[in-house]
Structure 1
């Protein structure tokens, strides 16, 4: 039905009835054709109104059914949210809690209505807050889901090890508008991550931080990072803006801005990396921890000296040869064809470590390949053959 026609017909009916009313009140008689015409218009319009009313009634019934279905669905998902085995939180971009389920309230020992409006950072161990802040700043720049291992404190309770999975919610313009958090208590879990550092008793009860391949690892001058898994590239920049490779932190090694005097010191994950953070104040206060870390720091110093020797070689081919020997020791794994470098390095990486250009490295690598001293596997990892 056209609503405009309906309105026009209603206006015509109104005018006809008005004329009829005026004529009936002013004249002692009524023209014989006026009333039948008005009554006919009134009847036709009333039928249209009746049909419209029936249509509106049917639409209203459908809307009621749709509303009831939507309400049932909303309640279903609300129940899933409330009674999920993991804690769920929604915060704004500043980390202020806007929604929380019952499990999250139980984990943090706070009533749901009291959680709303509280900063999420308040429940994180003070020493770890800056690290979490840095991780979130990186998360805003990507669409990845971030997993953090931290210590949370219950209200009026003890700290517990927790795994936080955080995702950014964006609007249609791509602007971050909120964060979604999943909380899990992992205090009683003895999984493979704990086994990675089981030989270092001082690290057993510490949370593990994960970084994806290619990610820049934020550095805190108060913290030393212990590598549990993966490979970290340590680099700086020269006056020309070129990156210089100054070290590789392999599993069991430590690194941190407090271990260098360089103004620019960058750590980049060359593979998926798992780290444990150790505060310098803890090392100073714990002889056992200092004793555990001393050989690891010494290992890093020895590697730094090796890189210095490489840079001191006069000829580029000698620098490349020594670098490949170093990588063979640090990240080499035996395969039937020789020794495979477990991490894929680019010619740019080699160039920065050898203080030369990528073009020169490409030429020298091609020559080594022609001589049969190196080859590449299907994943482009270098295999060293009788390379001494």
Structure 2
């Protein structure tokens, strides 16, 4: 019985009982004392039923409205899922596909209805399937969004490089219930990256080379980014006390420029004989290929800057010096029989400024490291790091 029929019958019952009660009350030959007590209770109960039916009807209307709102929202989010610009999949924790949007079906070259129920692993080359199985096991035990780079194969199609972003959905008890996947074809991007590596020489093509001798200050133009063809450039600023602070080193194939910093005082000094080429910002804005070439190099400078910041954040001077020497080993180190030789000579003042301490302190600490045999110097006063980790 649906709720509408229930309400109608309860109203009919109530009306009949009301008529019967009224009739029995006005008949002169029936004494009110003769009305059965059960009849009165039945009549009162019918009133309660009628009120309950009316309340149930109101609640039912509210439920219908709520259901309609939820259905509208569900349809809205379903359309967002379906027509999203990226390929989306929902799988269970074993990787069985439960839902797929239009772009996922297009990317894998399979109709949506045939994707559902298929294992995700079916689209992975045999030699990479174990790797994906291991990742699925780890995903169920982690709350982190994970990025996977893997090859996929279209149905009856070619292999392609894919970037997969995977997140775990959990129920209220914290148990993993499903995996949400975003699939992207990155084959073109990888080809572009390989092209970038091959075309690094394009930065030098038909551009005048600027040469600076060791110790020269390199003039900076805010409209230009400088690319280091050869040599090493010290990047520094000055604090309020007038002391120089080392904030970066631009080695060969790196870029620098005043447009890449917000510091009011930014100075570039050649630590060796240097060769540079200028690239105007307007060129970069107009050339996507040039932007792709330079972006990893700018990123490299940002990572190095972060490394210098981490060094400054160390509490003990010994730790700052240790991490600075590790960074210099990585940036300008070259392997020699005795260990790793820094290809450029750094003064104690340079090292002190990078470590946020005094030259006297650095001289004392370097002397101690020499006594311990951790560092030494060659005939040209270049520092050599021995078993320095």
Q: TM-score scaled by structure 1? A: 0.49
| Structure possessing the higher radius of gyration over alpha carbons | 2
